[in-house]
């Protein structure tokens, strides 16, 4: 009984975290669009973004929290569980992939935290009215937004791509469902990284839209599968 319970608890935890995380991730997309009024490029227009009303910045704050809770923290739990059940059969590659998923989460949360902490102070500076202060706040926001979205988050590509391709392949060979879907997501992350490095941001954004929908879908389906799985 003790051995079954010790096996079941991590599986159930990973399953519920995956499902809740998927729902939060999809919610983040909606809240983010509301914050920017549907203009996703507004974040790169500091004069426009910093002039948004306070409720819009509140929604932006909420989207960053949801991003952390939906796209990053759940994958520490999901990744940890999959590592624990795959490492014996698939060896060192799974250990390397586990390091990659931790790195992915840290990079993503760092980007969210950076923007979360700076939106309100820079918006207050921008509203002060002094032209020099306004120009400085706009320059600071553009640097921070570009650094987070085209720096930290683009550099997630290699680590998340490696984890998704390796773990997806291991899941497929072990008979677990949705391994191919995870591999497709890994390809999207790798493609975004390559396109970003080449400066092809328009094409990179198309791939980004794909994984923003598919990654939560994979988490949701995997979470349901884990909850339905019988105790060994």
Q: Is 198 exposed, middle or buried (0-12, 13-18, 19+ CB in 10 A)?
A: exposed
Kindly report, residue by residue over 65-124, the tens digit of the pLDDT. 999 999 999 999 999 999 999 999 998 999 999 999 999 999 999 999 999 999 999 999
Kindly report, residue by residue over 49-63, the tens digit of the pLDDT. 999 999 999 999 999
CA distance linking residue 90 with residue 230, whole number of Å: 22
- Give the pLDDT of residue 5: 52
Angle separating helix axes 73-90 and 156-173, nearest 10 degrees: 50
CA distance linking residue 195 with residue 202, whole number of Å: 9
CA distance linking residue 27 with residue 88, whole number of Å: 36
Angle separating helix axes 2-35 and 54-67, nearest 10 degrees: 150
CA distance linking residue 59 with residue 33, whole number of Å: 9
Does residue 37 sit in helix, strand or coil? Answer: coil
């Amino acid at each position: 009984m003790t051995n079954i319970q010790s096996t079941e608890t991590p599986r159930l935890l990973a399953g519920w975290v995956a499902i809740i995380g998927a729902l939060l991730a999809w919610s983040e997309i909606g809240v983010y669009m509301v914050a920017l009024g549907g203009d996703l490029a507004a974040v790169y227009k500091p004069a426009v973004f910093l002039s948004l009303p306070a409720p819009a910045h509140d929604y932006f704050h909420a989207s960053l929290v949801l991003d952390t809770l939906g796209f990053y923290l759940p994958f520490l739990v999901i990744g940890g569980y999959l590592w624990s059940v795959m490492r014996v059969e698939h060896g060192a590659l799974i250990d390397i992939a586990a390091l990659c998923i931790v790195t992915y989460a840290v990079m993503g949360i760092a980007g969210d935290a950076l923007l979360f902490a700076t939106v309100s102070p820079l918006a207050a500076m921008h509203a002060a009215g002094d032209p020099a202060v306004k120009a400085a706040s706009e320059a600071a926001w553009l640097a921070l937004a570009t650094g987070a979205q085209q720096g930290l988050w683009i550099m997630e590509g290699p680590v998340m791509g490696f984890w998704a391709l390796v773990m997806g392949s291991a899941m497929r060979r072990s008979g677990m469902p949705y391994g191919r879907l995870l591999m497709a997501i890994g390809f999207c992350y790798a493609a975004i990284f390559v396109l970003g490095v080449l400066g092809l941001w328009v094409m990179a954004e198309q791939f980004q839209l794909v994984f923003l929908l598919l990654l939560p879908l994979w988490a949701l389906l995997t979470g349901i599968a884990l909850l339905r799985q019988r105790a060994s």
